[in-house]
Copies of this chain bind each other. A is one copy, B any other.
């Protein structure tokens, strides 16, 4: 009886799977061309029997967030969150009037802010978010995501995610990949929206962090956020964090800036088939066009290395049918 049921089950699954594969074309928002073909070729290679087959457990794919899964212009979205938060809290912090990068925030001096880079951003986010519990912080982020609107598109920031990248995440997961975010942004902020926006659960989000402390408050355990940087998950920090959090080397990595170069190098250095990809922002009409001269998401060194090593470079304008999911 059991054997018969199992046999039927397997047959039905096999039939359903074949029918599904025949029907559904992956990556519908990607234009046909070399980039899309290379992605599909890689996935078919690692999932088909043969020398290039990779067991499901080892199908790890890591994605940068800012500029790779969602936009990062005119300033990192988290920076906008920090700005709004710093303004809210400014009356309690008179010292911010003279201290950078807070001074720049309060004066609306975005250029100085942008020049502070990922580390400045982290400092700002961390400092403006300490002294509360992790749960209180998550609520603050949720509230902001509900209220805030992007200045150009007048949409909630969490809607400015790239539809082609969402399809890529889905396609990889449908083929047994575990998809991770590995971002220079704050880990606890991204976790608030990553599950809904990307289908990526909190335990697959890696990012920069501030130190936290466990304590009992009136007998109730809480985790409190301290005003000290714990880890900056950018550049050399990315492979270090991947090793710490995942403990396996990715076989596919996706980025868009020089901050992702070491993650791509680390991924490329493993044995067997690999996919390294950069999203090149080439579409000023539908999104933005920038690379080596941008203060946000600067792409210079990594683009040169990508060309040399024949990593995939997505030309946003040519490769993507749409950028954002229509409203």
Q: Indicate if A132 sits at the interface (CB-CB under 8 A).
A: no
Closest to A212 in B: B240
B243/A134 in contact, CB under 8 A: yes
B8/A12 in contact, CB under 8 A: yes
A203/B1 in contact, CB under 8 A: no
Could you say which of B134, B221, B237 contacts A262, with CB atoms under 8 Å apart?
A: B221
Cross-chain pairs A/B with CB under 8 angstroms, 13 sampled: A2-B19, A5-B12, A5-B15, A5-B19, A8-B8, A57-B201, A178-B203, A201-B248, A203-B245, A203-B246, A205-B247, A221-B269, A223-B266
Q: Indicate if A123 sits at the interface (CB-CB under 8 A).
A: no
B19/A1 in contact, CB under 8 A: yes
Q: Indicate if A44 sits at the interface (CB-CB under 8 A).
A: no
Report A's interface with B, CB cutoff 8 A: 1-2, 5-6, 8-9, 12-13, 15-16, 19, 23, 57, 60, 134, 178, 187-188, 191, 195, 201-203, 205, 209, 212-216, 220-221, 223, 236-237, 239-240, 243-248, 262, 265-266, 269
Find the residue from A2, A203, A245 having the highest chain B CB count within 10 A: A203
State in angstroms the CA–CA spacing of A237 and B215 once bound together: 11
Could you say which of B2, B195, B201, B223 contacts A239, with CB atoms under 8 Å apart?
A: B223
Residues of B within 8 A of A221 (CB): 239, 262, 265-266, 269
Tell me how many chains of this kind the complex includes: 2
Could you say which of B16, B191, B201 contacts A9, with CB atoms under 8 Å apart?
A: B16
State in angstroms the CA–CA spacing of A215 and B239 once bound together: 10
Residues of B within 8 A of A215 (CB): 236
Residues of B within 8 A of A220 (CB): 269
Residues of B within 8 A of A246 (CB): 202-203
Could you say which of B9, B178, B236 contacts A213, with CB atoms under 8 Å apart?
A: B236
A209/B244 in contact, CB under 8 A: yes
State in angstroms the CA–CA spacing of A166 and B8 once bound together: 31
Residues of B within 8 A of A247 (CB): 187-188, 191, 202-203, 205
A16/B6 in contact, CB under 8 A: yes
Q: Decide: A223 near B203, CB < 8 A? Known: A16-B9, A19-B1, A214-B236.
A: no
Other contacts beyond A6-B16, A215-B236: 9, CB < 8 A: A2-B19, A5-B15, A201-B248, A205-B247, A213-B236, A214-B237, A221-B239, A221-B265, A221-B269
